[in-house]
Each structure stands twice: as C-alpha cells, then as structure tokens.
C-alpha cells in the first residue's frame, strides 16, 4: 500500500495498525504482511514509477494495481494514463 498526498502518513499508519491488530502474535506471517509506504513529499509520477518497478512483497508477485483516489473530482483517466506512462 502506497499512500500519496496531503497527510498520507495517517493512511499508512492506519493500514499498519489494522494489519497488526489482525494477529494475536508479535510477528505478522510473511504471507499476511501488508507492506506500506508514504510519499507526501514526492511527485505522483515518482510514486507510480516506484509502484511499477520497485515495489515487492516477500511472498507474492505484485501483478495487480488498484488506484484509490479519494477526492471530490473525477480523475480516473488522468491517473490511469499517468501510471501507464511511468
């Protein structure tokens, strides 16, 4: 999970906390681990490049991407095109 934008660290932290609370043990099994990053000071272009070429998981090949855009304006085509260009 890569969070980008204003106050994106709070999204990253919320996902981390939810992942930890799902297990009663101190260690999360690798197959259930949600790896998170936050990118408040980076361009969206850089985050898309990171997602496309650098992001990995210890147990799974990352073949699918979901862009979740929370805003009052529609940007699906713009964001899809920007990801494709990364």
d(CA 51, CA 62): 9
Q: Mind listing the pLDDT tens digit for each residue in 18-75?
A: 999 999 888 999 999 999 999 999 999 999 999 999 999 999 999 999 999 999 999 9
Q: How many CB atoms lie within 10 A of CB 82?
A: 16
Query: Which helix or strand (DSSP H or E) is residue 85 part of?
Result: helix 76-85
pLDDT-based confidence at residue 14 (cuts at 50, 70, 90): very high
Rg of the chain over all Cα atoms, to the nearest angstrom: 14
In the block, tokens 């990801």 appear at 83
pTM metric for this prediction: 0.86
């Amino acid at each position: 999970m890569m969070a980008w934008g204003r106050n994106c660290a709070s999204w990253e932290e919320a996902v981390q906390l939810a992942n930890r609370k799902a297990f009663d043990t101190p260690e999360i099994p690798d197959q259930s681990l949600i790896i998170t990053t936050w990118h408040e000071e980076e361009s969206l272009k850089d985050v898309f490049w990171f997602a496309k070429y650098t992001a990995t998981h210890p147990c799974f090949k990352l073949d699918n991407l979901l862009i979740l855009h929370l805003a009052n304006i529609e940007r699906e085509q713009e964001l899809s095109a920007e990801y494709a260009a990364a």
